Structure 1
């Protein structure tokens, strides 16, 4: 039986976790804290994929641990240090954390609770020791997690890949309109959909890595492209359903081919809206259809133009990235 193992690799988050644990334990030892290794455990629990998640994790775990200390005072000091009491405490403790939305802090607060139970006496010295452990553990995690590698280059690559896919799609549609046949499998459509999902997830992660930032230009960009993809997916059935070739077909094909050569990320879609208006004018100048099939084909092509207008309007409402003057982005 062949095992499907993932490649062995050490990521930056693994390195940060290892560094954070070492620093936390070293500081706890330096401060001569009891249960100093627990500082490393608290650090591990707070290393998160993003800065904002790390801050939320540290806050949640700190509050949960303070609540745990209050429970220890009530149950251990007020009743007894006994295994049954621990069970009762946890039965009541977990629902409270869930109600207060601090359930993520249960494990870290359990570490503190076990220390108190082991000491069999919640003295002032033990209280300060546990708070110091939390400060060292959570503080180290926050400090280490402030470093996040830039993912802008990867987002840029996603942007260029998506633009390339859109250009290919428009070229293939233009070929089909002219020749009424194509070997195109539509793979670019599926690739674009998958790539947009990955790109949006990564862009959202970038937002989470900036404490004061609530928006991301890439996230809005990929969201805009996602809306455009829905329009492209609506156009394709209309193209493939054309019963015959009409004179207007070449007008639409020429426009889409031109469009395919200028898929960029700027905000000058108004130029292509003007070109589309010209296509409409040329449409009106051509002879009226002399058969029912030609009439249906003309109607479908007009719907395609209408959809492309919506495609360009979505782009026009988008602020866009800075581009060179020579570019004509759509």
Structure 2
């Protein structure tokens, strides 16, 4: 998370807590500050998570009220009875997967120790603290919009790294002694893909109604292309000489690199690839074993390149 986003989130969460406390005070609720704590604990990374957590905490809070009400009224309002409540409530929360509810709901229940009773007014007080705190937690997340500009930047970064891999392939084909051709560029590419996919998922979870999955599917397409790209890299790395067909293949890879962008439907590139493969069929047979093996590697490379381009073509046809 960048510094700007950290600052923005800090302001939002702080405002949620402050507003919750002020509203609780305006309602003349006991322990008004607790509403602010509830608001802070209610804010999750995405809207979907915040809403899901709020629902689970509401169920847990209702159960906590029942358990505490029975125990306190039967055994008294003492710390030892609160210990018993904690053991039972924590067991239920762990059983139901409500881990995040244990602390927040128990803070509210602990107020009954100070109040010394669990009548209608006391329960109403705690329920309102819960509603106000959780309400402002959800309110804050309504402003966690999709980071459209950021995801576009990440997608472009990923595309640029793929272009670089293609460009380096074109250079390596014409130069068997090309330096540092060891595949480390894929480390950067895979990291870029991971970051972009994570942001796309966060954006998706920050939507309540719209279910836009384009970014997720786009990055899945780029990930599939990257797997094919690595197979292409392995073919190129095995080339030991510069066969007669190397120049046209290198030139075409450079052309793919230059024209590689999200809006290219790759139909012209597929047509160009078909033309190159036709030309390679009429080139004179190799004169020695090394040239034969290297031309075979170039042929395999073109097979993978076609697969690489068809992944993009199929993606655009289905969107």
Number of residue pairs aligned between Structure 1 and Structure 2? 317
Q: Is the 8 A contact 2:145 2:206 kept in 1?
A: no
Map 1:112-261 to 2 at 5 A. Answer: 112-184=108-180, 186=183, 188-261=185-258
Map 1:18-37 to 2 at 5 A. Answer: 18-37=14-33
Runs (4 or more) in structure 1 with deviation over 4 Å come to 6-10, 184-187
Residue aligning to 1:296 = 293
- Give RMSD over aligned pairs: 2.3
Q: Is the 8 A contact 1:68 1:112 kept in 2?
A: no
Residue aligning to 1:83 = 79
- Flag structure 2 segments of 5+ consecutive residues without an equivalent: none
Residue aligning to 2:302 = 305
Distance 2:306 2:5 in 1: 48
Distance 1:132 1:21 in 2: 15
Q: Deviations 1:267-320 (Å, cap 9, x if unpaired)? A: 512322222221221121112223222222122111111111111121112138
Q: 1:52 aligns with which of 41, 48, 53?
A: 48
Q: Deviations 1:84-133 (Å, cap 9, x if unpaired)? A: 33222222222211222222111111112101232221101111111111
| Alignment CA distance shift 1:231-1:53 (3 Å) | same
Residue aligning to 1:38 = 34
Distance 1:311 1:230 in 2: 9
Distance 2:88 2:174 in 1: 72
- Flag structure 1 segments of 5+ consecutive residues without an equivalent: 1-5, 323-330
> Residue 166 of structure 1: CA displacement?
1.7
Residue aligning to 1:62 = 58
Q: Deviations 1:161-196 (Å, cap 9, x if unpaired)? A: 222222222111111111223235555432221111
Distance 1:216 1:320 in 2: 16
Structure that is richer in helix per residue:
2
The answer on 1:108 being equivalent to 2:93 is: no
Q: Is the 8 A contact 1:58 1:138 kept in 2?
A: yes
Q: Is the 8 A contact 2:57 2:101 kept in 1?
A: yes
| Alignment CA distance shift 1:99-1:320 (3 Å) | farther
TM-score if structure 1 supplies the norm length?
0.89
Q: Is the 8 A contact 1:53 1:208 kept in 2?
A: yes
Distance 2:177 2:6 in 1: 49
Distance 2:245 2:200 in 1: 41
Residue aligning to 1:272 = 269
> Residue 136 of structure 1: CA displacement?
0.9
| Alignment CA distance shift 1:10-1:200 (3 Å) | closer
Distance 1:228 1:57 in 2: 37
Q: Is the 8 A contact 1:63 1:102 kept in 2?
A: no
